[in-house]
Every structure is written in structure tokens, then in C-alpha cells.
Amino acid sequence: MKPLKGKIETRTTVCPKCGKPAGSGKFCNYCGAPLGTQRCPNCGAQVALGLKFCGECGSPMQKSGKCPNCGYENEPGMKFCGECGTKL
């Protein structure tokens, strides 16, 4: 366990949007873009957090394919629930 105070080497993230050191927060110090990346469920490309569609293939960036009707966890990118057939 490391103490959470004192000098800690903070990992500087480079903003995927503006390309500048964005600091260690959740948003870029320069442009306010959300930091971090997620993987496209379709093509596996790294897509910046906050984007709704993959820049490579245009797939929607769903975090999960959880069915709004029955709650079944479908594979991300599925169009219909495998359990009840509801459109996702």
C-alpha cells in the first residue's frame, strides 16, 4: 500500500483529441476531451472514450449488449437480444 499523498509520479496522458499532455484527470486540460480509450466491439480499434462510434468502422461503441427488456448480457454489437429477441 502506497500513501496517497506526497510526491507521486503521475502518468501524463496525451489527449487523443488535441495531442497535448492532458494531465492526470479524467478530462484533457486543454480541450476538455474525455481521456482514455475503449476497444471497438466490432473491429477492435482503440477508440477515444466519449465517442459514440468507432472511427475505423463506424460501429456504435456499446459498452455491453445488455438487453433493456430481460437484462440478458448479449455480446457487444449484437442487434437483437439472444434471449428474448428485443432489438438492442
Q: Which chain residues interact with Zn ion by CB under 5 A? A: 15, 17-18, 28, 30-31, 33, 40, 42-43, 45, 54, 56-57, 59, 67, 69-70, 72, 81, 83-84, 86
d(CA 44, CA 42): 6
Min dist CB 8 to Zn ion, Å, is: 23
Min dist CB 10 to Zn ion, Å, is: 17
Question: Is 8 or 56 the residue whose CB approaches Zn ion more closely?
Answer: 56
d(CA 86, CA 68): 8
Kindly list the distances between the CA atom of residue 84 and the CA atoms of 51, 58, 75, in Å, as whole numbers in the listed order: 29, 26, 14
Min dist CB 57 to Zn ion, Å, is: 3
